[in-house]
Structure 1
Amino acid sequence: MKHPETKQKERYALMGAKNWLILLLGSLLIIVGYILMYGEGSTLTAYNPDIFAPLRIRIAPIICLSGYLLNVAGILWVARKK
């Protein structure tokens, strides 16, 4: 008696390489944005005007937000079928 042949299921990844690349770039943007926001703050004894620098209050949050949006796009990206 022959054993019945078992069909192997095709394995496929939920996300392709392009998705992972987009997620990596988005995560790097988030990290860069937080690094740009990092710095010394003001204390009760010393005022540091750098906490209101345009880089820290405008540019860095925009970079972080774009990283988060890029991560969402990386998750939702569907490759075109050939």
Structure 2
Amino acid sequence: MRTANVNSPDAEHPTAGEAVPLTLFLALIIVAIILGLTGAVADGLLFLLFIGIAVLVADLLYMALRTRHSARHRPLR
């Protein structure tokens, strides 16, 4: 039985180019949640809720387009 070598180049680890967009995606999700909660709870700051929703939608569209683009250019194994 052969075990997988985690140090091999074929290992499923994100490269530096893939890690940055994922970090950006997660950071924008957190910002959208914080803005949305602040806008929903604080009196007179309802506009923050709408900004949070806009950031969330833009972030999801960005990630969808990025994964769609990277799926086309992924080399066959």
TM-score range, shorter chain: 0.5 to 0.7
Answer 1 or 2: which has greater helix percent.
2
Gaps of 5+ in 2: none
Of structures 1 and 2, the one scoring higher in RCO (CA 8 A, sep 6+) is: 1
Unaligned runs of at least 5 residues, structure 1: 1-7, 42-47
1:19-71 per-position Cα deviation (integer Å, ceiling 9, x unaligned): 11111101101111111111216xxxxxx4433x2x322x2112112222333
* Count of matched residue pairs: 63
> Aligned residues: percent identity?
21
Distance 2:11 2:62 in 1: 20
TM-score (norm 1): 0.52
Please tell me whether Structure 1 or Structure 2 has the larger radius of gyration of its CA atoms. Answer: 1
- Runs ≥4 in structure 1, deviation > 6 angstroms? none
Whole-angstrom CA distance in 2 between matches of 1:17 and 1:79 = 16
User: Which aligned pairs between 1:1-82 and structure 2 lie closer than 5 A?
Assistant: 10-14=8-12, 15-39=14-38, 40=41, 48-51=43-46, 53=47, 55-57=48-50, 59-72=51-64, 73=66, 77=70, 78=73
